[in-house]
Structure 1
Amino acid sequence: MTVQPYVPEPLPPAGIDWEAHIPRIASANRALARYDGILQAIPNPRLLLSPLLTQEAVLSSRIEGTQASLEDVLRFEANPKEPIGDAALADIREIINYREALNTAVEALKTRRLDLALVCDLHRVLLSGSRGMDREPGCVRTIQNFIGRDAQIEHAIYIPPAPEDLSGALGDWEAYLQGGELDVLVQLSVLKAQFELIHPFCDGNGRIGRMLVPLILYDKGLIGSPMFYISAYLERNRPVYYERLLAVSRDGDWNGWIAFFLHAIEEQAGANGRKATAILDLYDEMKQTVPEVTRSQYAVAALDALFKTPIFSSAEFFEQAAIPRRAAERILQQLREHGIIAVLAEGGGRRAATYAFPRLLAITEGDRL
C-alpha cells in the first residue's frame, strides 16, 4: 500500500497521557536542572565547551550519513590547505556549517525570540556552500519530498505533508512554540517531532530539528546557556529514534515518542553534565600546571587557546592566544616537553606543525564518562 502524505494534527496533540508521563517528566527535569547548575558554575561555558559543540555537529551530521570525525574537522581547521578528498571536504563543510548555524542562533537569541524566521535563517547558514546549497537554503519547500530507500515515491517509507499544507502546519507549529504548556520538556518533544515530520525544507530537516533542542531549552529558560547536546543519544539509538517518529505519523503514537524523548533528555543531561564537569576539572588542573611549566605571563592566554581548539597548528595557536611569536613558540615547546600537548604532524618549510591536546579530546569524544 502506498504511503500517504502526513497530515499534521493541531498542536498540542490530543491524547497525551500526562499521568503516565509524570515520573519521566520529573526525572528529566531534575537531570536537566543538575546539568544547568553545572553550566552556571563554568566561568566561560562558550569557551570551555567549544569542543563539545563541534562534537555535537559531528554526531548530528553523522546521523545524516557523514563520515568525518571530530579529529578530521579540527585537523582540517588547523591546516585548511592540506590536501583532502572531495567527499571528506563536503562532510567537513556540513559539520562546520552546523556549528556556525548554532553559533548564529546563540547570538540572535540575545535580542530576539525563537521563531520560524530565525529557523529559516539557520537553515540558510546550514546549507551555505555545502552539498545542499542548491536545495533552496532558508526557503520552505514548494515541492513534495519523501523518505525512502530509492528515488521512487511509490516506495517511500514516509511522505511529509503536501506543499500546500505547509503554511498552516508551520503556523500552528510556531504558535505552539511561542505558547505555554503544562511541561516544557513535553512541549519540546512535540515541537521537535512535529518539525521533523513536517519536513519543511528540501534538505537539512533532521539537523535543524536536533539544533532546535538546545535553542528551545534556552528560549524557554530551562538552561542558562544554549548548550545541550542531544545527538549522541539519538545517534546511538538511531533505529528507535526513527521508529518512534514514524509511529507518530503512522499511528498517532505521541505517547511513545514523548516517553522516548524524555528518556533521551534525562540520559543526555547526565552525560553532558559529566563531560562538562570533567572539562572544568581539567581546566582547573591546567590552570595550576601550565603557569608552573611555562613560567610565562601568557600562560592563561595559552591555556584558553588549548581549550578552545584541542587540535591546532602553531600558526593558529599564535593567532588564537594573541601571544608574541617567540613567547608562543617557547610555550609550545614547554607544553610538548611536559606531555601536555602532542605532535600530530611536524612542521617543515612553510607548513606549520600540528598539535593536539589529548586529554581534552578524550573527554570530548568519550561515549561514556
Structure 2
Amino acid sequence: MTATNASRPASDESYRATTGAVKKPDIKAQNAKVQSVLSFGVSFGDADSTRTSADAVPTANIAQTMPPMDAAQPVPPEPCRVPPVELEEHCWTPSDDGYYSRTARRKASGTYYSTRPARIAAIGLTIPSDLAADLDEATQQLVAFDSRAAERFSAGGRTLGPLSAVLLRTESTSSSRIENLTVGARRLARESLDGSQGGNAALVVGNVRAMETALEFARNLSEANILAMHSALLGGSDEWKDRAGRYRDQLVWVGVSSAGPRGASHVAPQPDQVPDCMADLVAFIDRDDLPILAQCATAHAQFETIHPFIDGNGRVGRALIHAMLRGKGLTPTMTPPVSAGILHDTERYFDALTAYREGDARPILECFSSAARYAAHTGTELIDTLSAILDDDADRLHGLPLRRNALGWKLLPLVVEQPVVNVPYVARVLGVPAASATRAVGQLQRAGVLVEVSGGKRGRVWEERRVLDALDEYAEMIRRQ
C-alpha cells in the first residue's frame, strides 16, 4: 500500500544523510571473466553522445574485448551499478486526531528515514554481455510483436484502431491488477460504455485514460505531460480530483501502516525534493544514446523511487513505459501487455525496485527483459485469438443478404474495441442517426455476432461474448501462471 502523512514530522527539516546499504559483487570473480560489456552512449556517463542514424532503433550494441595477456588492464566499472539513494533521518509523530489509538501512535512515533534519489540525467551503466544479449532479444521480440499485430489485423483492409484500443485496455487492466484493482472484461466494457459500474471498473477506466494520454504525449515527455497523465488517471475521482495532475505536497511511503512511515519498505523523498527529481528524470528520458528497453526500466525504477504523486504512482509509472516505447519508435503501433509480464511475478518486480534503490540495476533490467518477452509472446496469442473471432464474425455476416456498404460491416470491427454496445454508442462512433445505428446493431444480432443482454425495450445493451470471454481468459491465464 502507499500511505500518506496525515500528520507532520515532529522535527525541523534538518536531516542526516546516509548511503543506502549495498551488497557489493565479488570483484575478483568479475575480473576473472572475459570483459564483455555494453556501454550506454559512446563512453560511460556520456549523456551528450547521439546515435549515428536518426532512424536507427538503439538496442544492445555489444562490444566484446579480450585483454592482451601481457598488458595490465584497468578494472572496468561494476556491472549494472547505479548511484544508490541516500537516506535522510527525520522524526515522526502521528497527529492526535483520535483516529489512532495511543498504542498505535506510540509505535508510529520516532525516527524514520526518507530517500534522497541520486541524479541520473547523465549516468553511465555497464551491462554484462549475457544481460545485454537478453535485452537485445527482448527488444527485437517487441518490435516483431508490433509488426505482427499491424500485419495480422490490417489484412483485408481492416483498421488498426480497434485492436490497438483493446490491447491498451488489456495493458491498463493488468497494470491496475498490480495495485490489486481487479475488474472483469464485461464490467470494464460496460463502465467504458455508460459509466454504470463504478468502483474498481471506474478506476481502471481512469487508467485507460492515463495510458491514452501517455501515448498522446509520447514524443514530448515533459513534466507537464506527465502531470497530464496523472490528471487523466484520477481527475474523474471525487476523492482525488483536487490532487490530480499535481505533485504531492506531503510525505508518502510504501508499507503496512497509515499511521507513519516507520517500518515502511520505502519512504519517498520529502515533497520539496520532487520537482528537482522529476526535472532530472525527464532529462534522462530525453536522452537518445541509450538502449530503449534498458532506458525504460531505469526511468521506471527512478519514477517509482521518487513517487511524485499522492496516489497512482504505479499506474502512471507503467504508462510512462509505454510512452517511452512509443515515442522512441520501438512499438509505434500497438501497446504490448508489459504489465501482464510484470504481473506474472510481482514479488520479483517489487524486489527489483528495492535493489535499484540500493544501487543494483540488474534485477530491474532482467525484470523488464522477461516482461517484454512475456508481453510479446502472450500478446501475439491474444492478437491471433481476437483476429480469428473477427474472421468468424465476418463469415457470419456474409451469410446475410447485406450490401457491402451496409452499416453492419462498419460496426463489426468496433465490437473488438468495445464488446458491449448500445444504440447511442453506435450512433456516435459511426456518425449516424439512432435509427441507422439500430439497424446496424440488428444486422450483427441476426448474424449471431451480438447478443442482447438487457431484456427490455429501454436501455438495451448488446455483447460480443466471445471477445469478452477471450479477454477474461487472457487475464485468468496470467493469474494462473
Q: Note the alpha carbon deviations across 1:124-169, whole angstroms, 9 max, x for none.
A: 1211121552562222223221111111211312111222332332
User: Do 2:191 and 2:205's aligned partners in 1 also have CA atoms closer than 8 Å?
Assistant: no
Which residue of structure 2 lines up, in the alignment, with residue 18 of structure 1?
128
User: Do 2:149 and 2:334's aligned partners in 1 also have CA atoms closer than 8 Å?
Assistant: no
Question: Once structures 1 and 2 are overlaid, which stretch shifts more, 281-290 or 91-100?
Answer: 281-290
1:62 paired to 2:170: no
Offset at residue 69 of structure 1 (A): 2.2
1:206 paired to 2:314: yes
User: Do 2:338 and 2:374's aligned partners in 1 also have CA atoms closer than 8 Å?
Assistant: no
Which residue of structure 1 lines up, in the alignment, with residue 417 of structure 2?
308
**Count of residue pairs the alignment pairs up:** 358
Which residue of structure 2 lines up, in the alignment, with residue 38 of structure 1?
148
Question: Once structures 1 and 2 are overlaid, which stretch shifts more, 290-299 or 259-268?
Answer: 290-299
Mark the structure with the bigger radius of gyration: 2
User: Do 2:248 and 2:309's aligned partners in 1 also have CA atoms closer than 8 Å?
Assistant: yes
Tell me: higher relative CO, structure 1 or 2? Use CA pairs within 8 A at least 6 residues apart: 1
Which residue of structure 2 lines up, in the alignment, with residue 93 of structure 1?
202
Aligned mates of 1:2, 1:180 — CA distance in 2:
41
Paired letter, 2:354? L
Paired letter, 1:139? R
Structure 1 residue ranges without an equivalent (≥5): none
Paired letter, 1:143? Q
Q: Note the alpha carbon deviations across 1:312-344, whole angstroms, 9 max, x for none.
A: 224433443445555544554453344322232
Offset at residue 193 of structure 1 (A): 0.9
Which residue of structure 1 lines up, in the alignment, with residue 267 of structure 2?
159
CA RMSD, aligned part only? Answer: 2.6
Partner-residue secondary structure (3-state), 1:149: coil
Which residue of structure 1 lines up, in the alignment, with residue 168 of structure 2?
53
Aligned mates of 1:129, 1:324 — CA distance in 2:
29
1:180 paired to 2:295: no
Aligned mates of 2:354, 2:373 — CA distance in 1:
22
Question: Once structures 1 and 2 are overlaid, which stretch shifts more, 134-143 or 207-216?
Answer: 134-143
2:463 to 352, 356, 360: 356
User: Do 2:352 and 2:367's aligned partners in 1 also have CA atoms closer than 8 Å?
Assistant: yes
1:147 paired to 2:254: yes
User: Do 1:298 and 1:323's aligned partners in 2 also have CA atoms closer than 8 Å?
Assistant: no
Partner-residue secondary structure (3-state), 1:101: helix
Higher helix share: 1
Offset at residue 288 of structure 1 (A): 4.1
User: Do 1:35 and 1:269's aligned partners in 2 also have CA atoms closer than 8 Å?
Assistant: yes
Aligned mates of 2:288, 2:281 — CA distance in 1:
12
Q: 1:160 to 1:79 in 2, by over 3 A?
A: closer
Give identity over the alignment, percent. Answer: 23
Question: Once structures 1 and 2 are overlaid, which stretch shifts more, 290-299 or 316-325?
Answer: 316-325
Aligned mates of 1:107, 1:165 — CA distance in 2:
28
Aligned mates of 2:224, 2:192 — CA distance in 1:
30
Offset at residue 40 of structure 1 (A): 3.2
1:224 paired to 2:332: yes
Partner-residue secondary structure (3-state), 1:57: helix
Write out aligned runs for 1:72-111 (5 A): 72-80=187-195, 89-109=198-218
TM-score, scaled relative to structure 2: 0.68
